[in-house]
């Protein structure tokens, strides 16, 4: 019996589920003609002599006499498409260039068109290199969770009489949406010369999660339909904008929880909420949560992003070595030297509002702004998409959710600070809000700089140009403090520019695993 320890869990987030939408992806290889002249690590592109498949590649993992191939690894990204069982595949290229060895040939042993469940829609192979990388290893904190319950109906008997029947019977009706949650550190970085995006570009480890909560498309690669990604990355900064989040369905993902001995796949996931924590004694974190339609166990090794299939003349084993997975199946920027960590104690607040000639807060007033001088002692920002899943209710069947749609987008939060009497300090903010009795909808220009000041690097900036602040409440403790609740507002009710998030990194991510852009 093998147990699964949570400390050894790896989490992967992808826009694919490991199966090519066109089908015919290779499951294994049989009957090697071993050839000669190869070395361990060679990436061999395979053509077909008896079919029309394409895209199959293998990595040499073991050789025999004179460079004969004894075993190969097949990452998910190298499965190809359009193959049929028993197709003969022959080596055509090595490492993207001329064929180094000779006469390596194999026979396809099985292909797949859907996932192991048998009816799951294929959404694409994993890819861990190049600008259109679609699968990312996420560094999660302790306390992650994922689960799916069931809805049931109890039928009971209620009757009168001296000997009433008192039985009951239970029926399973449906599976409600699965729930998932995990925390990540806020980690900006810059791409180096060997990375999955252009050198010197700013980025963040949690890119795909921001793309999912704020838009419909993943950063990089081709866009779907007429939508655009919510994230722009360049040599100046990486920016998350919510102006492209007005869709009934946002980016759908597959989330893989790779435990020690079991991998679970959450299908058609949506990011419903993110909570950014400004607790000043800690490292900057975000708690992400959402739902999925179903949870299933990945029983086909080659559909697991954390593993590669090792084929030895039809004998199948597995490898989770980064040599055969990272860069092919997924991007990994979670190592300590790959990206920056941010200390909340260095965070700063910029807060201002227009005032009229009577020094009363007024929306639209110019030339008499008040810039508050406030040091925060903590706080948080919450982004909620209020997503609802739809589940049929068919008698005699256990139904599962068929999809989801977004509700109102809400960006809100709170800040805590000591109640001081310095000019334009927290007490001034309280008195200004109390005095503005005619201002039912204020619009503060607020920016929170996580991990430093406005000119610091690394830093993450949360800019709310029209934040609505409620009158602060006073908290009694050893030192009197105050809490300010706020909500992000757009230019108007129909414009989704309540907040932009800007990342600037300093640590360089560069890894030879990403030096070659292998296409799916």
Task: Indicate if 219 and 353 belong to the same structural domain.
Answer: yes
26 and 8: one domain? no
Q: Which residue from 217, 349, 384 is spatially nearest to 278, judged by alpha carbons?
A: 349
| pLDDT tens by residue, 185-235 | 999 999 999 999 999 999 999 999 999 999 999 988 766 666 788 999 999
* Number of domains into which the chain is organized: 2
**Is position 233 within any domain?**
yes
- Tell me the H-state helices in 135-280: 207-214
Predicted confidence at residue 224, as pLDDT, reads: 62
Q: Does residue 302 lie in a domain region?
A: no
* 320 is a domain residue: no
| Judgement on whether residues 433 and 454 belong to the same structural domain of the protein | yes
| DSSP secondary structure code for residue 476 in this structure | -
Please give the full DSSP string across 63-132, using - where no structure is assigned.
E-GGG-EEEEEE-GGG--BS--TT-EEEEEEETTBS--SB--EEEE--EESS-TTSSPPP-B----SSTT
On whether both 40 and 78 belong to a single domain, the answer is yes
DSSP code, position 451:
T
User: In whole angstroms, what is the distance from residue 378 CA to residue 421 CA?
Assistant: 19
Whether residue 158 is contained in a domain is answered as no
Enumerate residue ranges in the chain where pLDDT < 70.
1, 114-120, 222-226, 519-520
The reply to whether 83 and 130 lie within a common domain is no
Contact 27, 81 (CB under 8 A): no
Q: Taking a C-beta distance cutoff of 8 angstroms, is the pair 404, 387 a contact?
A: yes
Parent domain of 91: 20-112
Kindly state whether residues 68 and 8 are assigned to the same domain.
no
Answer for the pair 466, 489: CB distance below 8 angstroms, yes or no: yes
Report if residue 157 sits inside a domain. no
Rounded to whole angstroms, how far apart are CA atoms 285 and 183? 7
The neighbour count for residue 333, using CB atoms within 10 Å, is 23
Where does a domain end: 112, 138, 157? 112
Are 132 and 237 found together in one domain? Answer: yes
Same domain, 360 and 483: yes
Question: Based on the domain organization, do 42 and 9 belong to the same domain?
Answer: no
- What gap in Å lies between CA 458 and CA 462, rounded to an integer? 14
CATH of the domain at 101: 2.40.10
In a domain, residue 156? The reply is no
- Judgement on whether residues 12 and 42 belong to the same structural domain of the protein: no
pLDDT value of residue 114: 63
Q: Where are the alpha helices (DSSP H) in 326-458?
A: 426-435
499 inside domain? yes
Is residue 183 a part of any domain in this protein? yes
Least Cα distance to 211 among 146, 147, 138, 142 occurs for 138
Contact 486, 447 (CB under 8 A): no
Q: In this structure, are 271 and 358 located in the same domain? A: yes
Whole-structure pTM value: 0.94
Q: Indicate whether 58 and 6 sit together in one domain.
A: no
Closest CA to 284 of 362, 173, 206: 206
- The contacts of residue 383 (CB under 8 Å, 6+ apart) are 213, 214, 273, 274, 275, 276, 409, 410, 411, 499
Closest CA to 466 of 441, 503, 430, 435: 441
Report whether 138 contacts 184 (CB < 8 A). yes
């Amino acid at each position: 019996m093998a147990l699964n320890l949570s400390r050894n869990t790896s989490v992967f987030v992808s826009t694919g589920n490991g199966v090519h939408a066109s089908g015919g992806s290779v499951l294994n290889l049989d009957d090697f003609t071993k050839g000669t002249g190869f070395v361990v690590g060679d990436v061999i592109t395979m053509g077909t002599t008896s079919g029309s498949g394409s895209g199959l590649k293998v990595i040499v993992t073991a050789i025999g006499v004179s460079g004969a191939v004894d075993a190969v690894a097949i990452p998910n990204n190298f499965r190809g498409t359009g193959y049929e069982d028993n197709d003969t595949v022959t080596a055509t290229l090595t490492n993207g260039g001329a064929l180094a060895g000779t006469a390596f040939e194999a026979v396809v042993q099985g292909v797949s068109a859907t996932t192991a469940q048998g009816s799951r829609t294929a959404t694409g192979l994993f890819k861990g290199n190049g600008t259109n990388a679609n699968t990312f290893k996420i560094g999660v904190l302790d306390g992650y969770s994922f689960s799916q319950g069931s809805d049931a109906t109890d039928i009971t008997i209620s009757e009168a009489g001296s000997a009433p029947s008192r039985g009951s019977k239970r029926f399973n009706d449906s599976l409600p949406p699965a729930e998932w949650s995990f925390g990540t550190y806020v980690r900006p970085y810059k791409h180096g010369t060997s990375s999955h995006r252009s050198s010197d570009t700013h980025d963040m480890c949690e890119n795909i999660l921001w793309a999912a909560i704020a838009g419909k498309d993943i950063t990089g690669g081709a866009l779907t339909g007429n939508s655009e990604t919510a994230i722009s990355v360049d040599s100046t900064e990486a920016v998350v904008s919510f102006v492209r989040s007005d869709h009934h369905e946002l980016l759908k993902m597959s989330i893989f929880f790779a435990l020690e001995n079991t991998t679970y796949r959450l299908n058609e996931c949506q990011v419903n909420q993110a909570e950014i924590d400004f607790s000043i004694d800690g490292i900057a974190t975000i708690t992400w949560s959402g739902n999925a339609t179903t949870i299933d166990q990945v029983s086909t090794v080659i559909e697991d992003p954390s593993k590669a299939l090792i084929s030895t003349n039809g004998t199948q084993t597995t490898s989770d070595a980064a040599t055969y997975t990272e860069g092919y199946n997924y991007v990994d920027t979670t190592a300590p030297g790959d990206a920056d960590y941010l200390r909340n104690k260095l965070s700063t607040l910029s807060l201002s509002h227009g005032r009229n000639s009577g020094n009363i807060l007024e929306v639209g007033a110019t030339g008499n702004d008040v810039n508050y001088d406030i040091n925060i002692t903590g706080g948080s920002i919450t982004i909620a998409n209020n997503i609802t899943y739809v589940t049929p209710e068919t008698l005699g069947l256990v139904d599962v959710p068929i999809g989801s749609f977004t509700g109102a987008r809400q960006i809100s939060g709170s800040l805590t600070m000591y109640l001081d009497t310095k000019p334009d300090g927290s007490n001034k903010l309280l008195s200004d809000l109390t005095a503005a009795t005619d201002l039912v909808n204020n619009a503060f220009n607020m920016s929170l700089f996580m991990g430093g000041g406005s000119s610091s690097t690394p830093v993450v900036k949360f800019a709310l140009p029209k934040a609505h602040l409620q009158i602060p409440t006073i908290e009694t403790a050893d030192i009197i403090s105050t809490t300010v609740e706020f909500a992000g507002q757009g230019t108007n009710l129909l414009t989704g520019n309540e907040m932009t998030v800007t990342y600037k990194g300093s640590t360089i991510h560069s890894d030879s695993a990403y030096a070659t852009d292998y296409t799916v």
